[in-house]
Amino acid sequence: MANEKKMASTPRSPAARTPIASKPAVPMASVVPVGGVRGQQRAIIDAVLPSVDGGRFAAKCVAGEPFHVEAHCFAEGHDALRVMLRWQAEGAAGWTEQPMTLKWNDEWHARFTPPTPGRYAYSVSAWVDVFESWRHELVRRVDPEDIRIAARTGALEIRAHAQRASGTDRALLDRWASELEAGALDLTLDVDALKLRALDDALADVANRYPNRSHQSESAVLPLVADRLRARYSTWYELFPRSAGDVPGRHGTFADVERRLPYVQRMGFDVLYFPPIHPVGREQRKGKNNALVALADDVGSPWAIGAAEGGHTSILPALGTAAQFRSLVAKARAHGMEIALDIAFQCAPDHPWVKEHPAWFRWRPDGSVQYAENPPKKYQDIYPFNFESDDWQSLWRELKGVFDHWIGEGVQVFRVDNPHTKAFPFWEWCIAQIKREHPGVIFLAEAFTRPKVMHRLAKVGYSQSYTYFTWRNTKEELTDYFTELASRPGLDYFRPNVWPNTPDILHEALQRGDRATYMTRLLLAATLSASYGIYGPAYELLEHLPRNPGSEEYLDSEKYQLRHWDLKRADSLAPFIAHVNGIRRDNVALQANDSLRFLPIDNEQLIAYAKTSPDGRNVIVCVVNLDPFNAQQGWLQMDGEDFDVKRGDAFQMHDLLGGERFIWRGGRHFIRLDPHQLPAHVMRLRRASRSEHDFDYFE
């Protein structure tokens, strides 16, 4: 009509907002809660992920990196929801809150970044959003009378929002409600203008600051532990300080280890791990090759802890003093490394605790203490603790005090020996207490045992866990196992640390001593897992002789005697290890496990997989020949589109291991690997630059 009035508005397009199909919500009458359920809480929070055993245990993340939360939220019908993520540091006065975004299939996503290592909590709130439901329903209205009625309905809702606001926001919302009420009653007003004013996005943003949350649903509060980066990405090197001497037969010292730091640093390791450095028991001491009778000059097993000189907070005098140990810790840090100590909660027969606290041990009818056994292995030189002791509380305090002592000496990383043979409640209490006091401490669980037991240790607080990698050698075994490790639920709390060898384990595949196998196993460890380690110098010097046929024990094992290592041997793998660790350091894709995906390749002796950085820019593709004797070839199925390469574009695969560069296009690519040269490709995908005139056409 010629005399129709116009209402001024500068709205954004409703289509630019997230579309929500709904009807205006009708206020429900108050109901009495039945069985603890409030009928007005219509929003359903079906799941919040990650959630470790329903929140019984904490999920894990890295401080300073985004932590992603997913919530499955919906309500009956088609009303719109608002979903919020809340989080706080343990002990904080209040919660930080942020909106979650609907992706698809009622799955809402948000992320927050814990700023520092420590314990956190997070939860989700959701409610039916009457205001946004009204707005979206109005978008679909075309009948003039329907639009006028909807405008009056909206005005009532906007006034309710205004009552929760204050200052200029309240005045703005009150004025908006009045305009809609007046416009709905003014039959001369153009209903299209009325509708446009009702859908004003800028005003809606103001109203959305003051929602009605009286009927919101809330999830359980879930725990989270934020660690420092080294808990997720670390590169370990194990050595026996007593074998670090430069003269055969001379007992090594902390000063000898200091002189070896540049060697370990050049290989690219950031954690230098020692077996126990405590006094070694003399009673029932083991001789060379685990002999039951020790000779006068036998040094015994460092895991037989305790003698007249002291126990778990003492240092074997032959290694040096506490001041020299602190010097070593500082020197290692200056070389970009941390010292990790082995904590083994067990005692030699002459450990002071055996006499001072007899209740902490199991006594046999003949008056002797039950020594440790793992049939057929017997450890006559080791007494385990009795965690069912009536004096368990003092035992717990004393054991925690061991960690406290070494933390005071500057140690922040601990490898714990056989934690699966100690009580789970102790670990849950001890680790939680220590990490509250020292959030940066890292615990590695050395537990080669049943899977559920290993996972429980991770749940109760261990930062990292040993794995079955040593015994996973075929393509099928590796694919299945690492797919499991990179998947939920374990991905949320179980961080693998994989080792090709340890002082206890010389796998039969390594007993041939062929160079290609040692290179292959190290490559697999270093690229499949963000954390890995080797026991050296045995590994880089290809130590491979077993004590007996069929045994995984080393001949002349360092566990029972001093060893002298020629680190300058021409056949040492040290340069190769340094190269691989440099690739890990320079490519963030290799520093996490969640992006791991295996790629099809038509040869059972070739295994292929890829990892991608969170921003998608760093893509590493590995192809490894599992046959140490023969060259193998096959066709790799890898489409560049899966890695953000435009269909039909060429892309470059830069082999960081061998240096070659290959130009690929399409989805099938020929691979040939000769283990006598290099047993693998570790390739970085480089996409074409925007300009063909760039100096390097590929980024």
| pLDDT(507) > 70 | yes
Separation of alpha carbons 230 and 440, rounded Å: 9
Once rounded to an integer, what is the mean pLDDT over residues 397-419?
Answer: 98
pLDDT value, residue 378? 84
Q: What angle do CA 597, 585, 594 make, to 5 degrees?
A: 25
| pLDDT(300) > 80 | yes
| pLDDT(391) > 70 | yes
Residue 174 φ then ψ, to 5°: -60, -40
pLDDT band at 37, cuts 50/70/90? low
Once rounded to an integer, what is the mean pLDDT over residues 465-469?
Answer: 98
**pLDDT tens digits, residue range 425-460?**
999 999 999 999 999 999 999 999 999 999 999 999
Lowest-confidence region among 32-36, 47-51, 394-398, 588-592 = 32-36
**pLDDT tens digits, residue range 603-632?**
999 999 999 999 999 999 999 999 999 999
pLDDT value, residue 7? 41
pLDDT value, residue 690? 58
pLDDT band at 51, cuts 50/70/90? very high
Separation of alpha carbons 123 and 59, rounded Å: 13
Is 417 part of the annotated catalytic residue set? yes
- Average model confidence (pLDDT) across the chain: 93
**pLDDT tens digits, residue range 92-133?**
999 999 999 999 999 999 999 999 999 999 999 999 999 999
In terms of pLDDT, which residue wins out, 40 or 67? Answer: 67
**Alpha-carbon torsion (237, 238, 244, 246), positive or negative:** negative
* Single-letter code of the amino acid located at 446: E
| pLDDT(681) > 50 | yes
Separation of alpha carbons 312 and 317, rounded Å: 13
Separation of alpha carbons 336 and 379, rounded Å: 37
Separation of alpha carbons 372 and 379, rounded Å: 5
Once rounded to an integer, what is the mean pLDDT over residues 467-486?
Answer: 98
pLDDT value, residue 33? 57
228-277+315-345+385-474+482-566 matches 14-26+38-226 in CATH topology? no
Once rounded to an integer, what is the mean pLDDT over residues 550-559?
Answer: 96
pLDDT value, residue 188? 83
Is the whole model's pTM more than 0.75, yes or no? yes
Separation of alpha carbons 126 and 108, rounded Å: 10
pLDDT band at 40, cuts 50/70/90? confident
User: Beta 118-128 vs 107-112: how paired, if at all?
Assistant: unpaired
Q: What is 14-26+38-226's CATH superfamily?
A: Immunoglobulins (2.60.40.10)
Once rounded to an integer, what is the mean pLDDT over residues 524-542?
Answer: 98
pLDDT value, residue 676? 95
Asked if 654 and 666 touch (Cβ cutoff 8 Å), the reply is no
> Which secondary-structure segment (H or E) carries 166?
none
Asked if 462 and 445 touch (Cβ cutoff 8 Å), the reply is yes
Residues in a beta bridge with 189 = 5
In terms of pLDDT, which residue wins out, 142 or 624? Answer: 624
Is domain 228-277+315-345+385-474+482-566 annotated with CATH 3.40.50.300? no
pLDDT band at 36, cuts 50/70/90? low
Separation of alpha carbons 315 and 157, rounded Å: 73
Asked if 527 and 620 touch (Cβ cutoff 8 Å), the reply is yes
**Alpha-carbon torsion (130, 131, 136, 139), positive or negative:** positive
Once rounded to an integer, what is the mean pLDDT over residues 643-647?
Answer: 92
pLDDT value, residue 301? 97
Separation of alpha carbons 236 and 224, rounded Å: 26
Separation of alpha carbons 511 and 546, rounded Å: 7
| pLDDT(694) > 80 | no
Give CA separation, 673 vs 67, 195, 372, 629, in Å.
Answer: 39, 68, 47, 11
- Name the token pair of 65: 């990196």
pLDDT value, residue 18? 35
pLDDT band at 375, cuts 50/70/90? confident
Determine whether 622 is exposed, middle or buried from the number of CB atoms within 10 Å of its CB (0-12, 13-18, 19+): buried
E-assigned strand segments in 451-593 = 464-465, 497-498, 531-535
Selected catalytic residue, list 417, 492, 552, 558: 417
- Name the token pair of 644: 């953000």
Separation of alpha carbons 427 and 412, rounded Å: 17
pLDDT value, residue 370? 87
Once rounded to an integer, what is the mean pLDDT over residues 564-580?
Answer: 98
pLDDT value, residue 4? 38
| pLDDT(6) > 50 | no
Once rounded to an integer, what is the mean pLDDT over residues 316-322?
Answer: 98
How many other β-carbons are positioned within 10 Å of the β-carbon of residue 666? Answer: 11
**pLDDT tens digits, residue range 233-261?**
999 999 999 999 999 999 999 999 999 99
State percent of the chain over pLDDT 70: 93
**Alpha-carbon torsion (674, 680, 684, 687), positive or negative:** positive
| Domain boundary assignment for the chain | 14-26+38-226, 228-277+315-345+385-474+482-566, 597-687
Once rounded to an integer, what is the mean pLDDT over residues 482-492?
Answer: 97
pLDDT band at 139, cuts 50/70/90? very high
Cis ω on the peptide bond leading into residue 50 (within 30° of 0)? Answer: yes
**Alpha-carbon torsion (318, 323, 327, 328), positive or negative:** positive
pLDDT value, residue 570? 97
- In three-state secondary structure terms, 112 is strand
| pLDDT(5) > 50 | no
In 560-597, which positions are buried (b, 16+ CB within 10 angstroms) versus exposed (e)? bbbbebeeeeeebbbebbbebbebbeebbbbbbbebbe
Once rounded to an integer, what is the mean pLDDT over residues 163-192?
Answer: 93
Once rounded to an integer, what is the mean pLDDT over residues 660-682?
Answer: 97
Once rounded to an integer, what is the mean pLDDT over residues 574-597?
Answer: 98
- Name the token pair of 622: 């590995």
Cis ω on the peptide bond leading into residue 575 (within 30° of 0)? Answer: no
| pLDDT(270) > 90 | yes
pLDDT value, residue 8? 38
Is domain 597-687 annotated with CATH 3.60.20.10? no
Is 639 part of the annotated catalytic residue set? no
Once rounded to an integer, what is the mean pLDDT over residues 322-343?
Answer: 98
pLDDT value, residue 228? 98
- In three-state secondary structure terms, 395 is helix
pLDDT value, residue 580? 98
Selected catalytic residue, list 270, 350, 446, 552: 446
pLDDT value, residue 691? 54
The set of residues, in sequence order, having a beta carbon less than 8 Å from that of 483 and lying 6+ positions away, is 596, 598
pLDDT value, residue 513? 96
Report CA dihedral (49, 51, 54, 57) to the nearest 10 degrees. -170
Once rounded to an integer, what is the mean pLDDT over residues 658-676?
Answer: 96
Which of 636, 538, 531 is closest to 584 using CA atoms? 531
| pLDDT(29) > 80 | no
pLDDT value, residue 346? 97
- Please, how many CA atoms are within 13 Å of residue 6, restricted to the half-sphere of its CB? 4
Once rounded to an integer, what is the mean pLDDT over residues 554-558?
Answer: 98
